[in-house]
Amino acid sequence: MLKMTFLSALSIIYLLGVANARFTVVRRRDPAPGVQMQAKLLPPAEFSVPFTGKTPRRKAKNDAFAAVRRWSPATCTDTAIVDAANFNFKNDYLTDVTIGGQNFSLLIDTGSSDTYVVQKGFNCSDAQGDPLPQASCQFGTAGFDTEASKTFKPFPNVIYHNIFGDGNTLTGPVGFDTVTIGGLAVTQEIAVPTLAVHTGDNISSGILGLAFPRLTNVFNTTDIANISDANRLVYDPFFLSAVKEKRVKNPFFSVALDRGTFEQEASNTFIPNSGFLSFGGIAPVPVLDTCVTVPIQGYDANSAPSNSPNAEFRFYTVDIDSYAFPGSTGLITANNNTILDTGTAFNIVPQDVAAAYAAAFNPPGVLTLVPNSTLSGFAVDCNAEAPEFLVTIGGKTFSIDPRDQIVPFGNNGTIICATGTQGPSILTNAPNSLFILGDVFLHNVVATFNPIAGEITLTQRAKY
């Protein structure tokens, strides 16, 4: 999961060495520049499950900052202080998952690989290790009861340990059990943490990760002090296990994220019925003819995203041909390290591109400092007119509905808005180090992933 305390957790990709996954994924070279790729014909999905809701990602990721400053369009100088805990840059999409016959709401994440559900009787603590009541960790249930499951099998002498970018830390045993989602049942390696430093949403009890094996976090030791990349036990995440077990005819999973209304987004609460997660084909929503299939970028050891045939897959990273909007002429908008992430609310593009796009709003957006930090983002009048924004990938151009480009946040009766397309300055002090196409883009396309062939097919959604 690309979790952040406004700071990028993606530095992990520079810390990980090369390891061979037990499942084979094929690395393909990008086509020559200027060559338009053809879309793969996608079958209908064999299994589909609705996202039961969308909820702002847990408060812990925002607690590092006390407030954000809002530019007032009325005077261009007035400000209002808004609790940063309500200025969420991340969203969690939830769906119902059954593990060992027990039902849970899990976060679905294309930016992480492990499947975990907190174990019944877990110990909750703060960041200093001091014990807290279980309720303080804000999981949605009391946890997974390994003894009540007739199919759970422990994986001895190993440990799951994951420190997320928002400060949450999960540690505990590992085992195998039947994981069922949308009718798709897979015997899967899962983590069942017993130790949690965690601030949740009071709905979800864990995560189902859909990224690549290299991002799994199980280690061949039982002592946290001894974990290292050298004893990391890379394993197949849920969907690769489904393919390996021949549970799906075609190696695709597909995501269609629905936007909420302005009022729902501004209320900063749980939003039900937020789209589909599908397996074996394309998600069941109306689409247009605009579509393209592009290769996923891999990562060399200690490097940024790479087109090298020796690179390995970690995230769903693609090349961007260009971004186009009023005022974009003359800007270099192409880049080759952009991650498709279901858990990021915004698009994160090169800083000069974000600035030029904010300037094209009517009235223009304004770069706004986050108090007590060097981070900044573009604030905009909630009633502003959002300009067109086009994304070209693999020679095909996709449009973004202007409704997605004004992102509201609410706090104590105050509504503020940010541009839907931001620069890296909103997340990190390292300029142009992290680019993401998040919900703002994904509300407008169906993203269908083929992790076996190393490809993504993007299909423009019909207007809704």
Active site residues: 109, 341
Report the DSSP pairing between strands 445-450 and 455-461. antiparallel
CB atoms within 10 A of CB 39: 17
DSSP E strands in 182-307: the ranges are 184-191, 195-197, 206-209, 218-219, 253-257, 271-272, 275-279, 287-295, 297-299, 305-306
The dihedral formed by the CA atoms of 455, 456, 457 and 459, expressed in degrees to the nearest 10: -170
CB atoms within 10 A of CB 1: 28
What's the CA gap between 15 and 241, in Å, rounded? Answer: 26
In this structure, which amino acid lies at residue 191? Answer: A
Q: What angle do CA 38, 336, 94 make, to 5 degrees?
A: 80
* Euclidean distance between the first and the last CA atom of the chain, given in angstroms as a whole number: 28
User: To which H or E segment does residue 352 belong?
Assistant: helix 351-359
Closest C-alpha among 312, 247, 310, 342 to residue 451: 312
Q: Break the chain down into helix, strand, coil percent, rounded to 5.
A: 15, 40, 50
Closest C-alpha among 419, 398, 397 to residue 408: 419
What's the CA gap between 191 and 149, in Å, rounded? Answer: 14
**Which tokens hold the place of 187?**
């015997």
CB contact set of 408 (below 8 Å; sequence gap of 6+):
262, 265, 266, 382, 415, 416, 417
Q: Please say whether the dihedral angle defined by the alpha carbons of residues 374, 88, 113 and 453, taken in this order, is positive or negative.
A: negative
Sole residue written with tokens 């053809």: 38
| Distance, CA of 404 to chain centre | 17
Sole residue written with tokens 């501004």: 266
What's the CA gap between 102 and 114, in Å, rounded? Answer: 18
